[in-house]
Amino acid sequence: MKNKYVSVIGSLNYDFFLKVNRLPKPGENMHAKDLKFSCGGKGANQAYQMGKLGLNVYMIGCVGDDEYGDKCIQSLNDAKVNTSFIRRVHCNTGLGFVSVQEDGEVSAILDEGANAFVSIDMIKALYDHIFNSEYVVLQMEIPMETIKYIIKEAEKHDVKIVLNPAPAQELEEKYLNKVHYLIVNEVEAGFYLGENYSDEELLEHGFDLRKKVKSGLILTLGSKGSYYIDEYRTFIPIVKAKAVDSTGAGDSYIGSFVYGLFNGYTPVESCQLGARSSAQTVEAFGRESMPSMLK
């Protein structure tokens, strides 16, 4: 019998947010209007949202032996995430340099730093814990060989895998076939379908991507809402919000989706929770705006 907890295995970053009117053109220098700081990383963000909602969640990853690592661990502790399996390594913590435009849209450049040390050996050392989880949640900001190993071993122990392949990277179908829930945006979906489709075309071909995974596909389209695709395609509308900063909105959606599954909601109901939480998240700066209860 599995224990009642979720393991998130992924990245922890410390992010620098530069507010700008627009992104610079090639060769152009620009002044930022504002500079803010926040802990981030897709893995840590998703764990943070689960912890704030009260889920029993463990964060597994690496930070550096620097003050940014201290801040990343403390932030997760504040959200009631279990951080006992986060390792300190002798390098810098992962860093993110994020441009935030007037409409809340973001783009980022990342330095992986300590995230590169989330190794297969580290997973083996935590094997009994990880593969006794109810769910294991993965992204793609840690080494690919580690991700493949986790997916392969999870299937042996009937552990459900939720994969958010961001940033999208090559992953053979034999691994996708072992994933229970795949959560992608339009760019990531096009990557795995091998085509640069329009949103309308993506919806037509969404079932092709759904067939590559075990249980279901979640396609997120930002302000156009999201879809849960299984035998049927179900539209989940956005919850209207005044967007201030979209950083972490997708991670909030994923964290709340897993929270829903863990607590017996259907996948569609879990997507609806995700839509509600991401709407609350965009209304203020940083991941601290992620909700502790869903309105």
User: What is the rounded CA–CA span in Å between residue 82 and residue 93?
Assistant: 19
108 is in an annotated binding site: no
175 is in an annotated binding site: no
- Choosing from 34, 65, 208, 251, the catalytic residue is 251
Report which of 175, 146, 174, 172 is spatially closest to residue 161, judged by C-alpha positions. Answer: 175
Q: Is 220 within 8 Å of 240 (Cβ atoms)?
A: no
93 is in an annotated binding site: no
103 is in an annotated binding site: no
21 is in an annotated binding site: no
User: What is the rounded CA–CA span in Å between residue 260 and residue 294?
Assistant: 11
164 is in an annotated binding site: no
132 is in an annotated binding site: no
Examine the residue annotation and report whether 78 is marked as an active-site residue of this protein. Answer: no
245 is in an annotated binding site: yes
Number of CB atoms found within 10 A of residue 207's CB: 14
234 is in an annotated binding site: no
166 is in an annotated binding site: no
User: What is the rounded CA–CA span in Å between residue 19 and residue 95?
Assistant: 17
Residues 185, 245, 77, 90, Cα dihedral to 10°: 80
83 is in an annotated binding site: no
247 is in an annotated binding site: yes
- For residue 224, which phi and psi values (nearest 5 degrees)? -90, 5
Report which of 94, 137, 142 is spatially closest to residue 119, judged by C-alpha positions. Answer: 142
223 is in an annotated binding site: yes
Q: What residues form the annotated binding site for ATP? A: 185, 220-225, 250-251
Q: What residues form the annotated binding site? A: 13-15, 41-45, 141, 185, 220-225, 245, 247, 250-251, 281, 284, 286
Q: What residues form the annotated binding site for substrate? A: 13-15, 41-45, 141, 251
Q: What residues form the annotated binding site for K(+)? A: 245, 247, 281, 284, 286
Q: Which residues are designated catalytic?
A: 251
